[in-house]
A and B are shown apart, each in its own frame.
Chain A
Amino acid sequence: AQKITQTQPGMFVQEKEAVTLDCTYDTSDPSYGLFWYKQPSSGEMIFLIYQGSYDQQNATEGRYSLNFQKARKSANLVISASQLGDSAMYFCAMREISNTGNQFYFGTGTSLTVIP
């Protein structure tokens, strides 16, 4: 089974609108971390936001928020007030802590295009 599933290969959003990028995960570990990364066309991977499995509140970082629904095993990224510079690939990732150390798993990504 896929550890991280991103079902939206591509998304479009109008500038200044909000957009939700979907992410579901699969783990049996009680302790794990969920992350979102942005990859613009220049190629670098930029860390956006983190949610811990024990966190009671949804994580927020500026215009980014993570809609964490633990029972559904989903960790959707919400970008509010989209800007043209938000056009990029977005990757959801999960960190499990195992006997062998860190295990990071990445989804297949969602390409977001912000339309002026």
Chain B
Amino acid sequence: DTAVSQTPKYLVTQMGNDKSIKCEQNLGHDTMYWYKQDSKKFLKIMFSYNNKELIINETVPNRFSPKSPDKAHLNLHINSLELGDSAVYFCASSQDREQLSGNTIYFGEGSWLTVV
């Protein structure tokens, strides 16, 4: 069983379209994330979300919005796609226990988004 799964793995779409990437984790974690990895391999946090709070990286355009129907899911919606949105998007999850700094972050396999 895949711990963190995201779909689709590959997505090619035209500028201006709206698209969604789905993410599900079966680890029972209470915190989920979306990361963007650009062509230079830089990993940039976009959102982190648990049942208490959504933390948004202020540099993320408001065309990007996370939606969490429940604790195991965090979907990413992107409106009015632009060429610069082409990247790999990683969903991830972790357990947010204050005393255990060893709880690692588990990643999905990534979604390759290409905007043409």
Contacts and interface: CB of A to CB of B under 8 A. Distances in A.
A97 interface: yes
Interface in A58-105: 89, 91, 93, 95-97, 100-104
B98 interface: yes
B108 to A, nearest CB: 8
A52 B99 CA distance: 11
Interface of A: 31-33, 35, 37, 39, 43-45, 47, 50, 52-53, 89, 91, 93, 95-97, 100-104, 106, 108-109, 111
Nearest to A109: B41
B43 interface: yes
Contact of A89 (B41, B53, B101): B41
Contacts, number: 70
Interface string B76-116: 00000000000010101010101101111111011010000
Given A89-B41, A102-B31, A104-B45, A45 B107 contact: yes
Interface residues of B, number: 29
Contact of B101 (A31, A45, A111): A31
A108 B42 contact: yes
B50 interface: yes
A31 B99 CA distance: 8
A57 to B, nearest CB: 14
A33 B110 contact: no
Contacts of A104: 33, 45, 94, 105
